[in-house]
Structure 1
Amino acid sequence: MLAAAGVTHLVNPKPYDRIVPRALPGSPRTYTYVSGVVELALAAGLVHPRTRRAAGLASAGFFAAVFPANVKMAIDWRHAPPARRAIAYGRLPLQLPLVLWGLRVARAGSPRV
């Protein structure tokens, strides 16, 4: 999942640019590219047993850190058609299981889902 998200951030950055909170300094595209590279690095770290614990912790932190972008998306899409609104609102509660998964991987040292 992280690798696929990382690739889409780099290949098709425009949708991600739109959800970067405006309060952040700099270009939204920079945040999009950096988050894509981070996702790829986290995915690689989860694959290797020697880096799995650190990558699990970093993944949990990453999923918590990107929550404001999901909140912005939900606010921006509050008047969108129902399907888009459902996607935006559905991303919000998804963050908690992702954070918990990262922590579980860090404790167990394996990427079991």
Structure 2
Amino acid sequence: MKTETLQNVARIGLGSMLVFAGVSHLTFARKDFQAQVPDFVPLEKDDTVVYSGLAEIALGASLIFAGEKRKEAIGKIAASFFAAVFPGNISQYTNERDAFGLDTDKKRFTRLFFQPVLMYWALKSTEKSK
């Protein structure tokens, strides 16, 4: 499979996952996402979940429909978003908050290693093909 084709599949897959996650923020997983909002965030937890859900939908759609000129920038924005929400994963771990089936310290700790993978995925799937 050509690199460009693989990148497109990865980019569209990541975008689709972001749209799904964003919709879940606004609907069936809203309470679980509230468990990840760190206490230092100056907004109500539910407001934070709604705003981040809307951002995920917008980012996901942008990744899916990214034109050649903008996809690299969108990938960098998506990677930055994953970095920005990482404190929520840390908060869930340090405060021992159960959500998404992460009901042990080991599961919550293991999840921390997936955020850098998402950042890498966003960057590699949108970089210019060589």
Report TM bin, short chain. 0.7 to 0.9
Aligned length: 107
Distance (Å, rounded) in 2 between the aligned partners of 1:71 and 1:5: 18
Distance (Å, rounded) in 1 between the aligned partners of 2:80 and 2:26: 21
Query: Where in structure 2 are there 5+ consecutive unaligned residues?
Result: 1-16
Query: Where in structure 1 are there 5+ consecutive unaligned residues?
Result: none
2:23 is the alignment partner of 1:7: yes
Percent of residue pairs identical: 34
- Which amino acid letter does the alignment assign opposite residue 77 of structure 2? A
Contact 2:36 2:97 in 1 (8 A): no
Question: How many angstroms does 1:74 deviate by?
Answer: 0.8
- Which amino acid letter does the alignment assign opposite residue 89 of structure 1? F
- Regions of 4+ moved over 6 Å: none
1:24 maps to which residue? 41
Q: Could you say if the C-alpha distance between residues 78 and 19 of structure 1 is closer, same or farther in structure 2, counting changes exceeding 3 Å?
A: closer
Distance (Å, rounded) in 1 between the aligned partners of 2:26 and 2:97: 26
Secondary structure in 2 matching 1:32: helix
- Which amino acid letter does the alignment assign opposite residue 78 of structure 2? S
2:88 maps to which residue? 69
> Could you say which structure has the greater relative contact order, defined with CA pairs below 8 angstroms and 6 or more residues apart?
2
TM score, norm. by length of structure 1: 0.83
2:34 is the alignment partner of 1:34: no
TM score, norm. by length of structure 2: 0.73
Secondary structure in 2 matching 1:66: helix
1:94 maps to which residue? 114
Secondary structure in 2 matching 1:63: helix
Greater Rg over alpha carbons, structure: 2
- Which amino acid letter does the alignment assign opposite residue 58 of structure 1? I
Distance (Å, rounded) in 1 between the aligned partners of 2:76 and 2:32: 27
* RMSD of aligned residue pairs (Cα, Å): 2.2
